Structure 1
Amino acid sequence: MTAATAFVFPGQGSQFPGMGHELARLGPRARALALRAEDITKVPVAELMTCADAETLADPEIAQVLVLVWSLAALERLREAGWRPSAVAGHSLGEYTALVACGSLDQDTALSLVACRGRAMAAAARGRPGGMAAIVGLSAQAVRALCRQATAGTDVAVVANWNSPRQLVVAGTVPAIERVVDAATGAGALRARRLPVGGAYHSPLMNAAHERLGDRLAGVPLDAPRIPFVSSATGRQVTDIDAYRGDLLAQVISPVRWSDAMRSLGELGADTYVEAGPGRVLGGLGREMARGARHLTTWEALRRAAPADALPGPDGGVRPVVTDLEQRTTT
């Protein structure tokens, strides 16, 4: 495969106050999708997207539905503009949008599942409080060693996100995460910082969410992908959709393997990556791992709208890499 476009969908952490104003720019179908999402999820999507502050949006019950709605609307608008992805992948929560994009899941079911996922993860976070931190500039081996050293008794720390070769995110109990941050700083990390999230996602502290989601996912029909779909739960292309169901469930307690997923997309021939969702978190990470590729936000792709057989040319206009840690971190 050559000259292939991959759609990548962001996860929780890409939400921001006022994101509803940008959603409105995606057109009337986006507004209709938001209203349908309210009926299905019982979350006041339009109001929260417009009026909620950052603290409110950090609640996984809210954030996950809002990011999904925005990403689904972006997917529809990009299709209307003529974009046709050759492969798709999503970071954690973004995997549900990717399932819609490849034809494995319908929109309404995705909205229902993500609402359940958000509630389950919020409840798990209340039951077993924890936190997360991003570590930049240490090797994966070094960060894993720090997590082992910080784990003792009831305290636990694990690698939760393999975001890029330079950036890993750790999750666990707050005392353990603080020990990892302190140790990483002492070990020469470029940055080691707690993230403003409400729980220890992709860690054993989410076991209650894993149990709660099991029955819900068991009865959901999943169709075989119509285009290559790479899972961030495994980092590999999904070829057996029935076996993948277990990976999708395990996603809430297992690490996000985004760097592996990007490698798999590259092996499929992707040389243009469109971040179909709010923000540009994945674009910053992608530029680290696929430097020769083109990385576009939703808005940049819409300004360069083209069908798959007439991809946009290398005429620049892509925003520079974002250096702020929070803007480049997704959980």
Structure 2
Amino acid sequence: MSKIAILFPGQGSQKVGMGKEAHDQSRVAQEIFQSADNELNFSLSDIIFQGPEEELKLTYHTQPALLTTSIALYKWLQAKVDIQPSFVAGHSLGEYAALVAASSLSFEDAVSAVYQRGLYMDQAVPAGVGAMSAILNLDRAVLDQICAETSTPDNVVQAANYNCPGQIVISGHADAVRVAGEKALEAGARKVVPLAVSGPFHSALMQPAADKLQDKLATLSFHDANIPVVTNVTARPITIASDIQEALVRQVASPVLWEDTIRYLLQEGVDTFVEVGSGSVLAGLTRKVDRKVTMLNVQDQATLEKTISHFVDKNGRNDD
């Protein structure tokens, strides 16, 4: 029997206008956008739908904007067809959407948490101190060794995202990231791509943000997940509320084990992945791990209808 995993994207997938069709055509989606505006006490939906892009790209706007869009699209999908996922997972920030989908965290608590998460991450490191680069086509063990040799207590560089075979992102102090990138090229990497980000995310430099987030999360109500959530920090499923809360804190300054997450899901028999949210970044990463899987996407009316058709055809009925 087919197993389904729902995936939620993270930062980098945002674009002005995302989720607008869901807002305009679905009452349940519209309520999610309104709920975000109410919870944050400003019009996040205006920033999402109208921009400007510079405002949307501010990490404390990007994070709640992507979460809101993902959950609005998920509610839109749920209202149209009954999908029973075996697992949920999200890339970095996307893990919060996964937790909302698994009823571990209310949407209101989640959007409040990621807004603060964005502020804490933005404040953790002064502008220009940190950097991130994508390293293409270099063996994981080789890059890990380069980071270990380059990094010092005062000049840190480490893997931040193990995205897929041939794509690993490194993060840390700008000089250490640059040197590690040069060594990676010498070791045979095809390319090093500096990323236009506001901070060295998922590195030890984010520990001040993790500490503040721990205090924020302690004020929220976590529940045991009703769908296993494959978490970034271990690439293994968790359902217990206290474990989920701890994983969210650890995630801020730890690498995102995305390739490992997809491999775990494949190992568990998942053969159908549905990416719910802006863009299709995770679809591309998943196909780099296994091209044979069924990869669906929900980000607008056209992709929603294609996904519904897949499940209606498979089930022989529409559960609208």
TM-score by length of 1: 0.87
Verify: 1:35 aligned to 2:34, yes or no. yes
Matches within 5 A, 1:91-102: 91-102=91-102
Structure 1 residue 225: Cα displacement: 1.7
Partner Cα distance (1:139, 1:68) in 2: 32
Asked whether the equivalents of residues 78 and 302 of structure 1 are also in contact (C-alpha less than 8 Å), the reply is: no
Q: What is the SS of the residue equivalent to 2:233?
A: coil
Asked whether the equivalents of residues 233 and 256 of structure 2 are also in contact (C-alpha less than 8 Å), the reply is: yes
Partner Cα distance (1:171, 1:271) in 2: 32
Tell me the alpha carbon deviations over residues 97-124 of structure 1, each in whole angstroms, 9 at most, x when there is no partner: 1011111111111111111111111111
Asked whether the equivalents of residues 61 and 122 of structure 1 are also in contact (C-alpha less than 8 Å), the reply is: yes
One-letter amino acid matched to 1:114: V
| 1:56–1:161 distance in 2 versus 1, CA, 3 Å | same
What is the aligned-residue RMSD (CA, Å)? 2.2
The answer for the alignment partner of 2:254 in structure 1 is: 254
The answer for the alignment partner of 1:212 in structure 2 is: 212
The answer for the alignment partner of 1:304 in structure 2 is: 307
| 1:144–1:40 distance in 2 versus 1, CA, 3 Å | same
One-letter amino acid matched to 2:36: A
Structure 1 residue 128: Cα displacement: 8.1
Q: What is the SS of the residue equivalent to 1:19?
A: coil
Asked whether the equivalents of residues 83 and 305 of structure 1 are also in contact (C-alpha less than 8 Å), the reply is: no
The answer for the alignment partner of 1:285 in structure 2 is: 285
Asked whether the equivalents of residues 129 and 173 of structure 2 are also in contact (C-alpha less than 8 Å), the reply is: yes
| 1:131–1:25 distance in 2 versus 1, CA, 3 Å | farther
The answer for the alignment partner of 2:155 in structure 1 is: 155
User: What is the aligned residue count?
Assistant: 312
The answer for the alignment partner of 2:64 in structure 1 is: 65
Partner Cα distance (2:131, 2:42) in 1: 25
Verify: 1:44 aligned to 2:43, yes or no. yes
Tell me the alpha carbon deviations over residues 282-314 of structure 1, each in whole angstroms, 9 at most, x when there is no partner: 00000011221111110434323169686489x
Asked whether the equivalents of residues 8 and 90 of structure 1 are also in contact (C-alpha less than 8 Å), the reply is: yes
Q: What is the SS of the residue equivalent to 2:135?
A: strand
The answer for the alignment partner of 1:11 in structure 2 is: 10
Structure 1 residue 54: Cα displacement: 4.0
Matches within 5 A, 1:263-278: 263-278=263-278
Q: What is the SS of the residue equivalent to 2:295?
A: strand
Partner Cα distance (2:25, 2:237) in 1: 30
Structure 1 residue 165: Cα displacement: 2.3
TM-score by length of 2: 0.90
Structure 1 residue 34: Cα displacement: 1.5
Partner Cα distance (2:103, 2:273) in 1: 19
Question: What residue ranges of structure 1 are gaps of 5+ in the alignment?
Answer: 314-331
Tell me the alpha carbon deviations over residues 112-149 of structure 1, each in whole angstroms, 9 at most, x when there is no partner: 11111111111113378311111110011111122123
Structure 1 residue 56: Cα displacement: 3.3
Partner Cα distance (1:267, 1:101) in 2: 22
Structure 1 residue 18: Cα displacement: 3.2
Percent identity over the alignment?
Answer: 34
| 1:119–1:26 distance in 2 versus 1, CA, 3 Å | farther
Partner Cα distance (2:194, 2:314) in 1: 40
